[in-house]
Amino acid sequence: MAAKKKSAGSAQNGATERDRKTLRKIEELASATLRTVEKADNPAVALRVRALSNVSFNEKKRIIELGDRVQSREFFNTNMARKFMQTFLVANGCRELILQNKTVTIRQMYYILKHTLRGSSENTFEEQNESDPIIEDVEVATDALREELHLFANKKGLAAGSLVVNDAGDEIDLARMGRGGWGIPSICEPEVLKFVRSKAKFIMLVEKAAVWSRLNEDGFWKKNECILLTSEGQAARGIRRLLQRLATELKIPVYVLVDNDPWGLYIYSVLKQGSINLAYESMRLAVPGVRFIGMSSFDYKKFKLPNSVEIKLNKEDLARAEQMRNYPWFADKKWQNEIKELQKNGFKMEVDSILSKGISFITEEYIPKKLRDRDYLT
């Protein structure tokens, strides 16, 4: 037992000030609950509600923000007892990671904490979709970022172009990454990832890895002196944080190219304003000045695309499009026209469909014309 205490203590003494601050937050959460137990009261944790009803759009900052409405998660409540227990399991798991100076994925944390309760057939967690929201709850309850809790998601996204970074002590030139590109890490905080130098004039983020590969192989970033990124679908937190830092620190414009459908618009929306689920991190993740370069609903006629690229909108698409028209950040007349045109067309299009005009048409004609004509939405 003595050796164990010494190990934990030495790890704590060697921790960064950031780690010590996070540790204090976790321990205060536990201490406050313990004091409630000692008073013979109902133990409870106050959590800010992460739902649309507690989210607002800040017109001045142009980001989504989480409100102050809270919900009490109580132990002596049959509907809340399981989540109450899970909250403290995750908090304690994060505490152990900080003490041991270890970092794990959110998937690994799920397995670390999953076990069968003694004397029963019930597990602490059944699936990862149970533990992931609890991790976000702990973030909110302790006012600490996931990275500060020593947790990260699997990395997702690729980059290439005019940028040299220092990643945890290793200098990496994104102009020398070949066809595969640089895998964007899930933790892109300044403590571990630094921008050494860049001559980039802008950033181009594309939704799909296949489109990114086309642009990379065609040398798009070389010809246009830019940084080329792909989110490989909905952007993970690491990509959003990297994009936010690049836009803020390099002070260059960001363009986004997504599919012409409501889901592509949503990907852009999350990059620009933030998301409802992570509204408490919008200041870190959102890029209000990001520009929507396409794929636009007007591109079908503008670039004379063939009928074969049309994909009929289904009921879900139409309902989603109507929902997005009511978002306050899409209230601008130009955005209303864009979404109305999508509904009027009755079909959606993938970015890949531009290749029907020629394998390199997207690189040599489509994007250059969009940039030249300043044909984008903000």
- Catalytic machinery residues: 111
d(CA 101, CA 15): 7
230 and 205 in contact (C-beta within 8 Å)?
yes
* Exposure class string for 65-99: b at 16+ Cβ within 10 A, else e: bbeeeebebbbeeeebeebbebbbbbbebbbebbb
d(CA 325, CA 335): 8
- For 377, which DSSP code? B
SS3 208: coil
d(CA 249, CA 238): 16
209 and 159 in contact (C-beta within 8 Å)?
no
Residue recorded with tokens 């802008």? 202
Compute the CA torsion angle 277, 278, 282, 283 (nearest 10 deg). Answer: 150
Give the Cβ contact number of residue 165 at 10 Å: 20
3-state DSSP: the chain helix, strand, coil percent, rounded to 5?
50, 20, 35
Instruction: Write out the DSSP string of 141-178.
Output: HHT--TGGGTEEPPP--EEEES-EEEETTEEEEGGG-T
Phi and psi at residue 182, to the nearest 5°:
-95, 125
Phi and psi at residue 249, to the nearest 5°:
-85, -35
The region, left, alpha or beta by phi > 0 then psi within -120 to 50, assigned to residue 265 is alpha
d(CA 79, CA 89): 17
243 and 24 in contact (C-beta within 8 Å)?
no
